[in-house]
């Protein structure tokens, strides 16, 4: 009996959150690092359908780093790197687009539909959602003064949130592939965290959540106990210079910084490997992961 009453208490605890997030846009960056391999399943899609069912407007921006590396290897396309960025020539970009939009996006859309939700897969290249300019990397040898062409890698120039909003209004969960259109009409790859941050900003989302494979931002990424539960934007530079924030965590934190400065009320980095971490973040008092604040 007590257990059943406890269940009711859980629902009651969720009540104010359900009410305050009614009709509010929540952008969820679904990291490639937390996506199950083909045929696998996780609780994230269930949580998204739940959110939509209780009246929120979730928007998914997905990554797919793991899957891209696997497919490039399968196809025998070799990669080189400049300052942590993959040099993306035409052959690489083709595999990136086929994988992200053709495989990962489809998998998420189908997963949502299977759970009884409605989803609309969209590439940010379409309908003018994301326009980009070419990114020029800094030379590893000669530093910031020398720029290196790394191919089809884009920096976000503009976001048109209207096509995304339309999908939300039609009660569909937009599932967005972070590929942008360059001035030459070609596809450019954009870091999914960066794209999620810009999209959240353009939508003036209530919340932006990064689902990844660590327990938030940690002083030591191998030790979950060293998690920083609240990160003030003013402290970010120091943590990047001190190399506490490294690699894949840099675009997340920078995107979080830009979005909170740009009017997104709340930004969180949470562990997508924990079952229902999204529901826990959305509907309970417990703070999980790292919250980025002004
Ligand atoms: N201070 C830090 N705290 C936690 N993780 C960190 C930190 N610095 C670097 N990282 C790394 O960032 C990684 C998460 O970023 P990563 O780009 O690998 O995954 P993702 O963004 O979730 O997936 P994808 O890029 O495919 O969308 C962690 O696995 C961790 O190794
Ligand atoms: Mg990443």
Q: Is residue 13 part of a domain?
A: no
Q: Is residue 140 part of a domain?
A: no
Q: Is residue 15 part of a domain?
A: no
**Which of 247, 252, 269 is the pocket-test mutation for ligand 1 (most atoms within 8 Å of CB)?**
247
Q: 188-227 b/e with 16+ CB inside 10 Å = b? A: bbbbbbbbbbbbbbbbebbbbbbbbebbbbbeebeeeeeb
Q: Is residue 139 part of a domain?
A: no
Q: Which of 138, 60, 86 is nearest to 247 (CA)?
A: 86
Q: Whose CA is nearest to atom 10 of ligand 1?
A: 249
Q: Is 45 left (phi over 0), alpha (psi -120 to 50) or beta?
A: alpha
Q: Is residue 229 part of a domain?
A: yes
Q: How many structural domains compose the chain? A: 1
Q: Which of 184, 126, 187, 132 is nearest to 158 (CA)?
A: 132
Predicted local confidence at residue 40, as pLDDT? 61
Q: Which of 218, 149, 196, 240 is nearest to 31 (CA)?
A: 196
Q: Is residue 86 part of a domain?
A: no
pLDDT in tens, 32-61: 899 987 766 689 999 999 999 999 999 999
For tokens 């052959």, the residue is: 91
| Residue 46 CB neighbour total at 10 angstroms | 19
**Ramachandran angles phi, psi of 107, nearest 5°:** -60, -40
Domain span holding position 100 = 21-74+93-134+152-293
Predicted local confidence at residue 286, as pLDDT? 83
Predicted local confidence at residue 39, as pLDDT? 60
Q: Is residue 180 part of a domain?
A: yes
How far is the centre of ligand 2, averaged over its atoms, from the C-alpha of 143 (Å)? 24
Predicted local confidence at residue 288, as pLDDT? 87
Q: Whose CA is nearest to atom 17 of ligand 1?
A: 248
Determine the length of the chain: 294
Predicted local confidence at residue 224, as pLDDT? 82
Chain-centre distance for alpha carbon 204: 16
Predicted local confidence at residue 287, as pLDDT? 76
Predicted local confidence at residue 2, as pLDDT? 87
Rounded to two decimals, the pTM is: 0.95
**Which of 28, 212, 239 is the pocket-test mutation for ligand 1 (most atoms within 8 Å of CB)?**
212
Q: How many CA atoms lie within 13 A of 171 on its CB side?
A: 8
Predicted local confidence at residue 21, as pLDDT? 95
Digit-by-digit pLDDT tens for the chain (294 residues) are 889 999 999 899 999 999 999 999 999 999 989 998 776 668 999 999 999 999 999 999 999 989 999 999 999 999 888 877 889 999 999 999 999 999 999 999 999 999 999 999 999 999 999 999 999 888 888 888 888 899 999 999 999 999 999 999 999 999 999 999 999 999 999 999 999 999 999 999 999 999 999 999 999 988 889 999 999 999 999 999 999 999 999 999 999 999 999 999 899 999 999 999 999 999 988 878 999 999
Predicted local confidence at residue 153, as pLDDT? 96
CATH code for the domain of 40: 3.40.1160.10
Q: Is residue 215 part of a domain?
A: yes
How far is the centre of ligand 1, averaged over its atoms, from the C-alpha of 252 (Å)? 8
Predicted local confidence at residue 147, as pLDDT? 87
């Amino acid at each position: 009996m007590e257990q059943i009453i406890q269940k009711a208490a859980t629902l009651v605890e969720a009540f104010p959150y359900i009410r305050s997030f009614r009709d509010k846009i929540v952008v969820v960056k679904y990291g490639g690092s937390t996506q199950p391999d083909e045929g696998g399943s996780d609780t994230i899609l269930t949580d998204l359908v739940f959110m939509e069912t209780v009246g929120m407007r979730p928007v998914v921006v997905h990554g797919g780093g793991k899957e891209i590396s696997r497919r490039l290897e399968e196809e025998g396309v070799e990669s080189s790197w400049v300052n942590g960025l993959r040099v993306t020539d035409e052959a690489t970009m083709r595999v990136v687009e086929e994988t992200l939009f053709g495989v990962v996006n489809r998998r998420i859309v189908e997963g949502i539909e299977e759970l009884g939700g409605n989803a609309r897969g969209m590439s940010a290249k379409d309908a003018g959602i994301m326009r980009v300019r070419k990114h020029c990397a800094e030379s590893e040898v000669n530093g910031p003064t020398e720029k290196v062409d790394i191919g089809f890698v884009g920096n976000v120039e503009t976001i048109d949130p209207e096509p995304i909003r339309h999908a939300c209004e039609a009660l569909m969960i937009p599932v967005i592939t972070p590929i942008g259109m360059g001035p030459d009409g070609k596809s450019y790859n954009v870091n999914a965290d960066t794209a999620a941050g810009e999209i959240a900003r353009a939508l003036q989302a209530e919340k932006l959540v990064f689902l990844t494979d660590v327990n938030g931002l940690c002083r030591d990424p191998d030790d979950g106990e060293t998690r920083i539960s609240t990160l003030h934007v003013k402290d970010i530079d120091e943590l990047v210079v001190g190399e506490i924030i490294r690699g894949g965590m840099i675009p997340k934190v920078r995107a979080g910084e830009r979005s909170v400065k740009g009017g997104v009320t709340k930004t969180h980095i949470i562990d997508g490997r924990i079952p229902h971490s999204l529901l826990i973040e959305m509907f309970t008092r417990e703070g999980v992961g790292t919250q980025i604040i002004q």
